[in-house]
């Protein structure tokens, strides 16, 4: 009788699980697994819809970026960043550059290193060059910036997936950067 009741409860729980979709996320040693059960549930079978082996995205603060623009070395998550060793890209749209821009439009404060403008909306055009390494050097650090950090975070994750060794998101984007260097314009 006790076994029959527990089987009945198990059957009810299984039926309930079958009627609605269940998504479970497990974080195991920094790896997030998303396990999805659909309405076409098969007992004891889990469909892994996505496994992510990506590292956490590194961030660089607005203060550290200003120091970097000033020619100073900046200790970072994986190395010490220097102006001659870092690649910088801005993924904002062209009209956003008119509102706020880094020390010199398209250039760092020293005037000799371009901040590449690669709008997220045109990613399909520049992505193949980023994948094959002809646009950016995969072995050198890359700092990615946007308005507040969301779009640049997407690009950071994508670059990480493409095998870039050291990728940094500008925390807070140019809006945050404008609080440490008002000469750039913004926030907007």
| Catalytically annotated residues | 146
- How many angstroms separate the CA atoms of 35 and 163, rounded? 26
- How many angstroms separate the CA atoms of 66 and 182, rounded? 11
Question: For residue 172, is it left (φ>0), alpha (ψ between -120 and 50) or beta?
Answer: left
CA 130 vs CA 1, 13, 94, 134, 141: distances in Å: 65, 49, 20, 6, 14
- How many angstroms separate the CA atoms of 163 and 112, rounded? 27
Give residue for tokens 């029959």: 4
């Amino acid at each position: 009788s006790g076994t029959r009741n527990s089987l009945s409860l198990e059957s009810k729980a299984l039926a309930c699980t079958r009627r609605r979709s269940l998504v479970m996320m497990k974080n195991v040693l920094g790896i997030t697994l998303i396990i999805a059960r659909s309405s076409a549930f098969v007992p004891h079978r889990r469909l892994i819809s996505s496994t992510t082996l990506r590292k956490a995205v590194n961030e660089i603060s607005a203060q550290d970026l200003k120091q970097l623009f000033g020619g100073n070395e900046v200790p970072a998550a994986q190395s010490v960043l220097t102006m001659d060793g870092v690649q910088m890209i801005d993924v904002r749209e062209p009209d956003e550059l008119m509102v706020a821009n880094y020390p010199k439009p398209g250039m760092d404060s020293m005037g000799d290193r371009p901040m590449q403008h690669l709008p997220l909306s045109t990613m399909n055009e520049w992505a193949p060059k980023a994948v094959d390494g002809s646009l950016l050097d995969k072995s050198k650090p890359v700092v990615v910036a946007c308005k507040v950090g969301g779009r640049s975070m997407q690009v950071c994750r994508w670059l990480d997936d493409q095998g870039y060794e050291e990728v940094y998101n500008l925390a807070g984007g140019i809006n945050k950067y404008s609080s440490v260097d008002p000469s750039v314009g913004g926030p907007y």
